[in-house]
Structure 1
């Protein structure tokens, strides 16, 4: 590995707090861009196409989160393997991971695209999507399925680069994607000149085009800059199903993917409950979740940063830095998430008014926020702790913790509260589930055996010095 690249991407030396912030900021800004993009699209749809169209996108977006969860585990496992390899100075193994995991992503993306396009109406009906939103949601979802390969591809390349210690480059190309999506959305929704007015389907078309262009530009850039993880003709032997890496991706990636599937399926079960209260409640919940997505961004950014930093230091055998990474991650996340929660509370009605015109929906959204937003601070701490634990390859206990807090606590509790006390009581399932999750996560971090876990059977070569 070249010394210049090592100096630019190594996370095994220097002040941990500074490393975390500098690595997390591009991730956070990328999350902001993605959510801002979704928010602007939601504003166009909610204000100009009506509550039914907005409810349709809420249902469809939950399905897309579910689909991204299917490959999240493989991507995270590949990210951790690459980060450990970079920390250990093993460039060859890093390229082996890239070649093998790339085949995984392509195969999964093609399979899901075909099945999803065919069964979109059945999936939405199974979620009890409101009848007035079903046709909108079907059109939107089918087009998104067509662009799934580009979406998966971009996320794969982004996670690989972050595992190598580079969070800045993916952010620059995310700027391209976001700009295109924002510009193209009103063009395809309302039409202009030779471009027909496609309504809600136009929003999906804009997203697909933006993802495709950004992915192509990113790949071209990496090859022109001769990124050390690019696969050249000489590296073609790495593009195969390596048995050892496949075993690691499956053993470690599947539980991490299942963890995200538990999150996404619980969200589907929750919105299924909210749908039973009608389109106004669904729209209010969708708007509240748009805002909560911003609240979760620091946790996701810091959580991703601590996972990569910890994995590189695990590869280098620097365990003192692993534990310091955990503490610094929790502190930074607490301050950043707390600040955003306070900001939303100050402008609750105004923020919801960006998405909703119906005053009844705004009132419901305000009640949702007043009960749930503060609990996302607890969610952030859990996300950081789990990120460090997963960096070693310990994945089963975080999976169990997520399952217990969501499917054994939040979902049964939400259905019970809705039946006994009505819609307003449902939202209390959020802070209760998050509180249980943080207690379980911290207990495992303090007393568990996660430090002894391994990603591969062979131990990474420790970095010199």
Structure 2
């Protein structure tokens, strides 16, 4: 049977049907995965904060920022766009080539990160200005987390590729498995309950390692048992050897997307370094506030991921008539969902914060103030995320990176640094609205007036004399890719 013809039946089609309903149904499992991930981090923070104290909580906050930086590698995101465009064009052999090349390279990069992180863990934590009382705890925690990085990245890669193929339900189920294992094992390994050893803060990291490893092995077993069309088996295992030409395309587009995450992470690390200068109490308050912000941002991130996959499939299918409506639906959902969460946080923030810290801790007052100053700005940043997801679906990746460099790395960190002399630590909290307003203005201007619509896409039928396009702006002949299947 021809690989291209049954693509609609064997992968989920995002190129037809009512856009708001299709987008929402696709986004809900992504949102569920994000909820589980954030809930996992928050519950682990409760265990650490309650059992081991504020210094240990500060240690995990610093370590988790480093982890977010490492997980920001963009190869997976670039592969997802290419896979989605290939699925939209009904070209499954091309999608498998992308999966094979990307998976091998992505895993090897993860191993390099893990090894380098293990070796230079003290240098990393010192560069953050981690408080002295939290440094030994952060070191113990982060070293085990580095061991988990390859499996965490592999699980993330498999889930994003499945979403590119239109399946958001399977990633949700296996994220749930990883979270359940992590949450259950966390207190057992921290306190040494029953047959488990007492590992302290290292137990929290070990539970993460176990949960991620079991989940990624389980999802691979299930995909092969179901004979998923994007699995690599038999002769297709040769596709795990990276194709240099295809790898150049993936890296060329993936690096700017990865740098976008690194820019956000770097800004967060810079602000954390400034926060640490005010001591463990303020650092703990900021760390907990940041935990709550992950929940606020979840709808926008989920909608952005759904918009990216849906728009990319429509780009591959040549359905440009749907792209603008996909973006508009994403912005609308973000305004409603993120706005509701911000309102709830304004009302119930003190009650939620008391879960992490004792009720008489001064850090609760600090964290409450931080939320009131900064949390509303994530509504604006959510719109930016949706607009970025739309333009990235065509392969336009440099303008979003430049916008983030300006708004997040320059405006936010500069505001926090230079205004400290005038308004003290308030500058740290107000830097978030300053960055979000800047990014929204610039992103809206690029979406409205930029040339992202002219970036090459997978065309269902190339014009006479024009080579089929790879989906990210490099014609197949010029990229020296195998002409194994046409894209029409």
Superposition TM-score tier, normalisation by shorter sequence: over 0.9
Q: Check whether the contact 1:330–1:381 (CA below 8 A) recurs between aligned residues.
A: yes
Match of 1:370 in 2: 372
2:357 is paired with a residue whose SS is coil
Cα distance in 2 between the residues matched to 1:333 and 1:104: 33
Displacement of 1:240: 1.9
Identify the match of residue 414 of structure 1 among 397, 416, 420: 416
Answering whether residue 475 of structure 2 is matched by residue 458 of structure 1, we say: yes
Structure 1 residues 19-77: Cα deviation after superposition (integer angstroms, max 9, x where no partner): 110110000000000000111000011112100000000000000001001x2x11110
- Structure 2 distance, partners of 1:426, 1:161, is 38
Q: Is the 8 A contact 2:415 2:427 kept in 1?
A: no
| Structure 2 CA distance for aligned equivalents of residues 4 and 240 of structure 1 | 26
How many Å separate the matches in 2 of 1:400 and 1:321? 26
1:243 aligns with 2:248: no
Among 378, 381, 387, which residue is 1:379 paired with? 381
- The equivalent of 1:68 in structure 2 is 71
**Which residue is 1:44 aligned to?**
47
SS of the aligned residue for 1:323 comes to helix
Where do residues 108-127 of structure 1 align in structure 2 (5 Å cutoff)? 108-127=109-128
Q: How does 1:320-331 map to 2 (within 5 A)?
A: 320-331=321-332
Distance 1:104 1:424 in 2: 43
Q: Partners of 1:450 and 1:183 in 2: how far apart?
A: 46
CA distance in 2, matches of 1:402, 1:442: 13
Instruction: Give the secondary structure class of the aligned counterpart of 2:394.
Output: coil
Contact 1:88 1:461 in 2 (8 A): no
How far does residue 110 in structure 1 lie from its aligned partner after superposition? 1.4
Q: Match for 1:436 among 432, 438, 448?
A: 438
User: How far 1:4 moved relative to its partner?
Assistant: 6.5
Taking a change above 3 Å as real, the CA distance of residues 462 and 19 of structure 1, as seen in their structure-2 partners, is farther
Is 2:26 the counterpart of 1:9? no
Distance of 1:384 and 1:194 partners within structure 2: 47
CA contact (8 A) 2:415 2:434 kept: no
Return 5+ residue gaps in structure 1 as ranges. none
More helix by share: 1
Q: What's the counterpart of residue 232 of structure 2?
A: 231
The match for 1:354 is 355
The 3 A distance-change label for structure 1 pair 200 and 461 is same
Cα separation, 1, equivalents of 2:328 and 2:350: 35
Partner of 2:284: 283
Instruction: Assess if the C-alpha contact under 8 Å between 2:118 and 2:143 holds in 1.
Output: yes
Q: Counterparts of 1:251-270 in structure 2 under 5 Å?
A: 251-270=252-271
| TM-score calculated relative to the size of structure 2 | 0.92
SS at 1:157 equivalent: helix
Aligned to 1:28: 31
Give the C-alpha shift of residue 424 in structure 1.
2.5
User: Could you say what secondary structure the match of 2:356 adopts?
Assistant: coil
Pairing 1:48-447 to 2, within 5 Å after superposition:
48-69=51-72, 71=73, 73-357=74-358, 359-447=361-449
> Structure 1 CA distance, aligned partners of 2:442 and 2:214?
42
Q: Gapped runs of 5+ residues in structure 2?
A: 457-471, 477-484
State how far apart, in whole Å, the 2-side matches of 1:385 and 1:461 are.
31
Deviation per residue, 1:201-223 (Å, 9 max, x gap) = 10000000000000111000000
How many residue pairs get aligned? The number is 461
Offset at residue 194 of structure 1 (A): 3.2
In structure 1, what is the Cα distance between the partners aligned to 2:96 and 2:269?
A: 37
Instruction: For residue 375 of structure 2, give the secondary structure of its aligned residue in structure 1.
Output: helix
Q: For residues 439 and 461 of structure 1, do their structure 2 counterparts lie closer, same or farther at Cα, with a shift above 3 Å needed? A: farther
Segment drifting more, 222-231 vs 120-129? 120-129
Which string of whole-angstrom CA distances, capped at 9 and with x for unpartnered residues, describes residues 353-407 of structure 1? 1112253111110110001111100010000000000000001110000000012
**Secondary structure of residue in 2 paired with 1:132:** coil
In the other structure, the counterpart of 1:448 is: 450
Distance change (3 Å), C-alpha of 1:119 and 1:93: same
Structure 1 distance, partners of 2:486, 2:407, is 37
CA contact (8 A) 1:244 1:456 kept: no
- 2: CA distance between counterparts of 1:191 and 1:115? 30
* Higher deviation after alignment, 414-423 or 274-283: 414-423
Alpha-carbon distance in structure 2 between the residues aligned to 1:123 and 1:232: 40
Helix, strand or coil for the counterpart of 1:410?
A: helix
Deviation larger for 232-241 or 442-451: 232-241
Deviation at 1:106, TM superposition (A): 1.7
- Cα distance in 1 between the residues matched to 2:428 and 2:126: 23
Task: Give deviations 1:116-168, integer Å, cap 9, x for gaps.
Answer: 11111111011110000000000000000111111011001001101100000
Secondary structure in 2 matching 1:273? helix
1:192 CA displacement: 2.0
Normalising by structure 1, what TM-score?
Answer: 0.97
Partner Cα distance (2:449, 2:230) in 1 = 37
